[in-house]
Amino acid sequence: MTDRPGFSLRELGLSADADVAWRALLRAPDLTLADLCAGTGLSAAGAAAAVDELAAAGLLHRADVPLGWIPLEPTVAVEQRIAAEQHELAERLSALSAMRAGVADLAAEFSRGRERLAPRMEMEILDGLDSIREWLTFACTNARFEILSMMTAVSMEGIESARSIDFGSLARGVAGRTLVDSAALDDPRRVAYFEALSAAGERTRAVRVVPARVLIFDRETAVLPVDANDITRAAVVVRAHTIVDSLVFLFEQLWADAAPLFVPAYASDRPEGRRARVLELLACGRKDENIARSLGVGVRTVRRDVAELMAAVGEKTRPATVAAAIRRGWLETDPGTAAGVPGQQRHQRA
């Protein structure tokens, strides 16, 4: 048997010594232990251990030869071993899939637990960078429709640590708007990051000064650093409606006067007429019945328009459709700026 690149019994969980001994025995099944040692460079103990390992793996069978063992025909022996490995792998993959499903259930329970606790915790202190990042990961992953961000000159290490979370939220159809301190644009790496976010659907504007580093999730919860000079030391999570509403108001005031960055080019295929207006109202969070009253048409007409918009961008959910429309340049205005509907809905739920 000639050696083939990439083939090794080590891939089947056997040792390098066993692989060397097996190949030697395939070529000369009548070797003595001394011959095997001489041909492979193994010690007597190493050669004997390799033979025992091959026998235990089912690659050798008993025979009247000096070693007492000869190799099975390789096609049969290796295929049997591969089949056994594949069976074990399938069982392992099944177990991992079950584990993944279990983790999702645990995450749902954790989320429900936090919701039970949240009303009693209008303020929460996150101590240290690890705690802050863990909480932000949870909040971004569970955001339903909108994340507002006021961004100062955060380190590139911090930006990179949040990359997958930021793009993941946009991919789920969560609308994102970011106000960037003009000083943060001095670094071309940050500019490149904001440009990539914009291409994924984020709306970004620059202001001369951002008063504080703030993130607001679904207009219900805000997080900001305790120390503006060291945002990694500690952060405060705020759920008190009066404070969150004030932060949202501040964000909207700054947003109105901010300069847009990376404005998408006008799209020639953007919807026109009633469908364009339906898309704008959909981006503001309006319900079908509300859109129908605003446009003086029936609810079925609105739902048909929404279905056609979803089909046009290849999305299956309304938030994802809005995000895709932003990326295509179909929306000149930003979701949520006109009506403030999400905030109103929150108070109704409360």
Residues 127 and 257 in one domain: yes
* Tokens 């006109």 found at: 338
As given in the structure block, the two tokens for residue 348 are 């109704």
Query: For 68-124, what is each residue's pLDDT tens digit?
Result: 888 888 787 777 777 777 788 788 887 777 776 677 677 767 766 665 555 556 888
DSSP code of residue 269: T
Of 113, 145, 148, 84, residue with least CA distance to 287? 145
Is 82 in contact with 71 (CB distance < 8 Å)? no
Examine residue 266 and state whether it is found in any structural domain, yes or no: no
Domain presence at residue 238: yes
pLDDT of residue 120: 54
d(CA 269, CA 32): 80
Which tokens go with 332? 């000149």
Q: Which of 198, 228, 261 marks a domain boundary?
A: 261
241/278 same-domain check:
no
Q: In this structure, are residues 21 and 51 in contact, taking their beta carbons and an 8 Å threshold?
A: yes
Res. 243: pLDDT tops 70: yes
Q: What pLDDT score was predicted for residue 104?
A: 66
Distance, in Å, from the CA atom of 328 to the CA atom of 309, rounded to the nearest integer, reads 12
Contacts of 175 (CB under 8 A, 6+ apart): 145, 146, 147, 201, 203, 283, 319, 322, 323, 326, 335, 336
The answer to whether residues 67 and 136 belong to one domain is: no
For residues 134 and 348, the model is more confident at 134
The verdict on 325 and 223 lying in the same domain is no
Q: Domain for residue 267, yes or no?
A: no
At 263 the pLDDT is 62
158 and 282, same domain (yes or no): no
Q: What integer pLDDT is reported at residue 317 of this predicted model?
A: 86
* Same domain assignment for residues 187 and 316: no
Q: Is residue 87 part of a domain?
A: no
Task: Indicate whether 222 pLDDT > 90.
Answer: yes
Q: What is the pLDDT of residue 111?
A: 66
What is the amino acid identity at position 195?
E
DSSP string, 277-318: HHHHHHHTT--HHHHHHHHTS-HHHHHHHHHHHHHHHT-SSH
Q: By the 8 A CB rule, do 313 and 321 touch? A: yes
Q: pLDDT grade, residue 259 (50/70/90)? A: confident
Model confidence at 147: pLDDT above 80: yes
Mind giving me the DSSP string for 179-203?
EEEGGGGGSHHHHHHHHHHHHTT-E
Alpha helices in 13-128 (DSSP H): 16-27, 33-40, 44-56, 74-117
Per-residue pLDDT of 29-56, as tens digits, reads 888 989 889 989 999 999 999 999 888 8
Q: What is the pLDDT of residue 323?
A: 78
> In this structure, are 255 and 278 located in the same domain?
no
Of 219, 241, 261, the domain-final residue = 261
Give the strand pairing for 123-127 and 234-238. Answer: antiparallel
Q: How many domains are there within the chain?
A: 3
In the predicted model, what is the mean pLDDT of residues 185-190? 83
Instruction: Determine the average pLDDT of the residues in 271-280.
Output: 87
Note the pLDDT of residue 204.
Answer: 87
State whether 144 and 220 are in the same domain: yes
pLDDT band at 341 (very low <50, low <70, confident <90, very high): very low
pLDDT digits (tens, 9 = 90+) for 305-338: 999 999 888 888 888 888 778 777 777 544 444 3
- What's the CATH code of the domain at 318? 1.10.10.10
Based on the fold, state whether residues 202 and 136 are members of the same structural domain.
yes
Instruction: Give the pLDDT of residue 45.
Output: 92
97 within domain boundaries: no
CATH number of the domain encompassing residue 183: 3.30.870.10
Segments forming the whole domain that contains residue 189: 123-261
Residue 114 lies in a domain: no
What whole-number percentage of the chain has pLDDT above 70?
A: 85
Q: Are strands 175-181 and 146-151 parallel, antiparallel or unpaired?
A: parallel
Return the SS3 of 121. Answer: coil
Indicate if the pLDDT at residue 6 is higher than 70: no
C-alpha span between 148 and 131 (Å, rounded)? 21
Please state the rounded mean pLDDT for residues 6-18: 81
For the segment 251-275, the average pLDDT, to the nearest whole number, is 78
CA angle 209, 210, 214 (to 5 degrees): 175
Clarify whether residues 35 and 151 are in a common domain: no
Answer yes or no: is 129 within a domain: yes
Q: How far is residue 22's CA from residue 28's CA, in Å, rounded to a whole number?
A: 10
Q: Are residues 254 and 140 in the same domain?
A: yes
Q: Which pLDDT belongs to residue 118?
A: 52
Scanning the structure block, which residue is given the tokens 């000096």?
Answer: 66
Q: Is residue 131 part of a domain?
A: yes
Domain termination residue (choose one: 203, 238, 261):
261
Does residue 59 sit in the same domain as residue 27? yes
Say if residue 198's pLDDT is above 70: yes
> Could you tell me how far CA 140 lies from the centroid of its own chain?
10
